[in-house]
Amino acid sequence: MAESPEQDKRLPSRRIADALRERIKQRELKPGDKLPSERSLAAEYGTARNTAREAVALLQAEGLVDAQHGRGVFVRNRPALMRLGANRYSRRLRGETGLSPFRIEVTKQGRTARVECRSVTQDSPPEDVAERLGLDRSEDVVIRRENWYFADDEPVQVGVTYIPTAVAGTSPLASEKTLGRGSIYARFEELGYPIARIREEISARMPTPEEAKGLSIPPGVPVIEVLHTGIDDKMQAFEVTRFVMRSDLNGLDYEMPVED
């Protein structure tokens, strides 16, 4: 027997959110479907409209629904964009397509990719970056490239790449926002740094206010941080990129051999 509202100890907003989440899970509300209005939810569950609004906000924070101004709230119909760790840096795919790793994986998933390089500067490396590149942050300078990544015009991640000046030299990596066919890893290969191995350290945290604003992150949604190190065929680290990804829009897919 179902509990009555008097027996149910959950907050009313949580009770409504849980019921809607179950309807989404059972596909009674399918991707693209419009949620009932706040007025309808309040009447159905015997609550005030602001309680229904709080319930919908909980689902937004989980990335299950999107609010569209002037139209209503809809069940999210876009699958997570998967970071395909096994082959996103493939030389073969880069040669065949002329695309960057991000554009390759977004295109493979039927989405439209866009990348904005917003700055190319020289700076001291952060401590964790200096450690992975074998640099002295009090003395060494790196090229800092800041890229923002979009799938179907929706911001999904930001990546800041750090390149030792000894690697970049006077190449386009050191000054140009647009890097041409094959993008950044083709330019590294031309300089004698083919990407042969990667190390990716993955963690989760809450976004900074700047990240939340720039990536349009709903309240309560964390980010995935990927600290990526590119390693050449001589086992030398030649670049580090810190990716910050919306956790509600991204997933990670890695396939690798298991050591004996």
CATH number at residue 58: 1.10.10.10
In this structure, the number of other CB atoms found within 10 A of the CB of residue 44 comes to 12
Looking at the fold, whether 61 and 177 belong to one and the same domain comes out as no
Looking at the fold, whether 149 and 221 belong to one and the same domain comes out as yes
pLDDT at 12: 92
Looking at the fold, whether 180 and 123 belong to one and the same domain comes out as yes
7 assigned to some structural domain:
no
241 assigned to some structural domain:
yes
Looking at the fold, whether 113 and 223 belong to one and the same domain comes out as yes
pLDDT at 53: 94
pLDDT at 170: 97
pLDDT at 8: 61
CA 17, CA 38: separation in Å to the nearest integer?
Answer: 12
Looking at the fold, whether 127 and 22 belong to one and the same domain comes out as no
Taking only the tens place, the pLDDT of each residue in 114-146 is: 999 999 999 999 999 999 999 999 999 999 999
pTM for the structure as a whole = 0.77
pLDDT at 42: 95
Whether the CB-CB separation of 80 and 73 falls below 8 Å is answered with: no
Structural domain of residue 47, as residue ranges? 12-75
The pair of three-digit structure tokens given for residue 162, joined into one six-digit string:
């750090």
Structural domains of the chain, count: 2
- Nearest Cα to Cα of residue 176 among 138, 147, 141: 147
Quick check: helix, strand or coil at residue 35? coil
- Nearest Cα to Cα of residue 156 among 245, 229, 96: 245
2 assigned to some structural domain:
no
**More confident call, 35 vs 4:** 35
Looking at the fold, whether 236 and 119 belong to one and the same domain comes out as yes
Whether the CB-CB separation of 52 and 38 falls below 8 Å is answered with: yes
**Beta-sheet strand order (sheet of 154-164):** 113-123, 142-151, 154-164, 237-246, 223-231, 197-205
pLDDT at 40: 95
Looking at the fold, whether 107 and 221 belong to one and the same domain comes out as yes
